[in-house]
């Protein structure tokens, strides 16, 4: 009798499981169409986790009783494990973990005139389904009441990517060369505020030791042999204007930055070339619930620039390095709706071009992408949001998990 009941329970469980699975798949198809089912599962889990009112703990904000990680991030001891979820189409889905130590900046306790970001130290490791892996360490700090800002990291990377050619769109979108790029690098960024204004002056030093291997040893005809194995040593000058209320998840303000990089043999590299970049971002609240944001990014190079360092169209919905050239320009705009103090919905779209010169850029084919997303204020005291974006580009639908601002410089 017991065996029969046990067997009956198993059968009922299997039927129920199939019905639930069918229901989830139906909902998924209605909502997201081309996005992979595993991405939808991540979305479902995160949504359930955010809306669940767990027991009173450090993860519940006593002010509004919503899920919040401010106390966990700022008032802890030791390093915190932070999961990394990768959804970049250039390398495929993947994940990893970062051990992060975040501490409140002492100046933020006395300075009420501006937002002062916390000091962040950490190490990380990650891998993706196509065999890409990365490991590194980073440090971010502001001091003297945000007069000085420093950001630095060291990383070791082995990435499996595809090269589609230069000059923007190729004649056939199906022709590409698979390659592995392996190496390590150091990045340093130091800037200082000019007087008591929103202007910053500073510089960067970048060093990388790179080795590229194409599948079957076939080198694309448009590339030079010295682009395959080299060192890059570069120094940059930068001028920036930053009036954003919060650099982590900006809701108002403007950011404009010009950078001029000089890569030379005398700075530790093998190649001589220059890189210039102009990045402008604006965040405009129209009312308490509506806001508008936009970004314009232009980048151009000259000299012996290796193919992996050349500009590319940078939009949500388009894989990194997909459309490259000597010059690239990307514009993206976003409409935001603040449905709740914690929740924000967005609708975005953008266009971009890449070519071998500014003249060619004017006549180049335009790539476009669009999508929707949402953000949740996961750390109120830091003004830090997390959320999801689903974007459609020329080739595919892409799913992104976002931590902070989607427009990283």
Amino acid 3: pLDDT: 42
Q: Is residue 2 part of a domain?
A: no
Residue 330 lies inside a defined structural domain of this protein: yes
* Mean local confidence (pLDDT), 240-261: 95
When comparing pLDDT for 198 and 118, which is higher?
Answer: 198
pLDDT at res. 132:
97
CB distance 229 to 208 below 8 Å:
no
**Contact assessment for residue 292 and residue 281, using Cβ atoms and an 8 Å cutoff:** no
pLDDT, one tens digit per residue, over 324-348 is: 999 999 999 999 999 999 999 999 9
* CATH of residue 375: 2.40.160.50
pLDDT at position 174 = 60
pTM, two decimal places: 0.80
Which domain covers residue 322, as residue numbers?
33-403
Q: How confident is the model at residue 198 (pLDDT cuts 50, 70, 90)?
A: very high
Q: Is the pLDDT of residue 173 over 70?
A: no
- Tell whether 209 is covered by a domain: yes
User: Does 51 score more than 50 pLDDT?
Assistant: no
* 89-103, 173-187, 217-231, 288-302: segment of lowest average pLDDT: 217-231
Range of lowest pLDDT (97-101, 167-171, 271-275, 396-400): 167-171
Concatenating the DSSP letter of every residue in 75-132 gives: S--S-EEEEEEE--TTT-SEEEEEEEEEE--GGGGT--SS--PPEEEEEEEEEETTS-
Q: How many residues does the chain have?
A: 409
pLDDT over 70 (residue 114): yes
At 168, is the pLDDT very low, low, confident or very high (cuts 50, 70, 90)?
Answer: low
**Higher pLDDT residue, 102 or 243?**
243
Answer whether residue 321 is part of any domain: yes
Rounded Cα–Cα distance for residues 391 and 198 (Å): 33
* Residue 248 located in a structural domain: yes
Report the pLDDT averaged over residues 41-64. Answer: 59
Q: Is residue 333 part of a domain?
A: yes
Q: Which residues contact 44 (CB under 8 A, 6 or more apart)?
A: 24
Tokens 């010295």: give the residue.
Answer: 226
Q: Is residue 203 part of a domain?
A: yes
Percent of the chain with pLDDT over 70: 81
87: pLDDT strictly greater than 90: no
pLDDT of residue 20: 40
In the chain, what percentage of residues exceed pLDDT 90? 58
Of 377 and 382, the structure prediction assigns the larger pLDDT to: 377
Write down the pLDDT at residue 312. 96
Judged against a pLDDT cut of 70, whether residue 112 lies above it is answered with no
| Rounded Cα distance, 369 and 246, in Å | 27
Is residue 98 one of the residues assigned to a domain?
yes
Please tell me the total count of domains within the chain.
Answer: 1
* Average pLDDT value for the chain: 84
Give CA separation, 43 vs 47, 96, 248, 407, 409, in Å.
6, 18, 22, 21, 26
What is the pLDDT, as a whole number, of residue 11? 41
Beta bridge partner(s), residue 95: 85, 127
> What is the pLDDT averaged over residues 68-75?
82
143-163 per-position pLDDT tens digit = 888 899 999 999 999 999 998
As a whole number of angstroms, the distance between CA 244 and CA 341 comes to 19
Looking at per-residue confidence, does 349 or 104 come out higher?
349
């Amino acid at each position: 009798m017991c065996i029969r009941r046990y067997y009956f329970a198993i059968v009922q469980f299997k039927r129920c499981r199939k019905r639930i699975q069918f229901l989830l798949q139906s909902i998924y198809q209605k909502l997201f169409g081309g996005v992979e089912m595993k991405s939808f599962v991540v979305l479902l889990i995160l949504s359930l986790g955010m809306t669940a009112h767990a027991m009173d703990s450090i993860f519940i904000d006593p002010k509004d009783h919503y899920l919040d990680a401010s106390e966990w991030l700022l008032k802890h001891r030791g390093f915190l494990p932070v999961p990394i979820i990768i959804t970049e189409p250039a390398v495929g889905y993947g994940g990893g973990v970062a051990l992060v130590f975040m501490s409140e900046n002492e100046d933020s306790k006395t300075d009420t005139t501006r937002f002062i970001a916390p000091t962040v130290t950490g190490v990380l490791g990650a891998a993706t389904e196509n065999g890409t892996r990365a490991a590194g360490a980073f440090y971010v700090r502001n001091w003297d009441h945000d007069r000085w800002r420093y950001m630095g990291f060291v990383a070791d990377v082995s990435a499996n990517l595809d090269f589609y050619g230069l000059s923007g769109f190729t004649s056939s979108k199906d022709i590409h060369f698979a390659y592995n790029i392996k190496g390590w690098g150091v990045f340093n960024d130091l800037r200082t505020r000019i007087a008591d204004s929103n202007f910053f002056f500073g510089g960067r030093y970048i060093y990388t030791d790179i080795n590229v291997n194409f599948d079957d040893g076939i080198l694309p005809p448009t590339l030079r042999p010295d682009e395959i194995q080299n060192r890059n040593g570069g120094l940059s000058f930068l001028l920036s204007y930053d009036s954003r209320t919060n650099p982590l998840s900006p809701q108002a303000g403007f950011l404009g930055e010009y950078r001029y990089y000089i890569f030379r043999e005398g700075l530790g590299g093998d190649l001589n070339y220059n890189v210039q970049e102009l990045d402008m971002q604006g965040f405009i609240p129209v009312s308490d619930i509506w806001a508008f944001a936009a970004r314009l990014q232009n980048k151009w190079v000259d000299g012996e620039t290796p193919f992996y360092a050349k500009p590319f169209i940078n939009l949500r919905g388009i894989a990194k390095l997909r459309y490259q050239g000597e010059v690239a320009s990307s514009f993206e705009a976003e409409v935001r709706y603040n449905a709740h103090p914690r929740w924000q919905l967005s609708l975005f779209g953008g266009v971009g071009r890449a070519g071998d010169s500014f003249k060619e850029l004017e006549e180049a084919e335009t790539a476009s992408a669009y999508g929707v997303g949402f953000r949740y204020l996961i750390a109120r005291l830091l003004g830090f949001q997390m959320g999801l974006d689903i974007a459609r580009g020329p080739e595919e639908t892409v799913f992104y998990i976002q931590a902070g601002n989607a427009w990283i410089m």
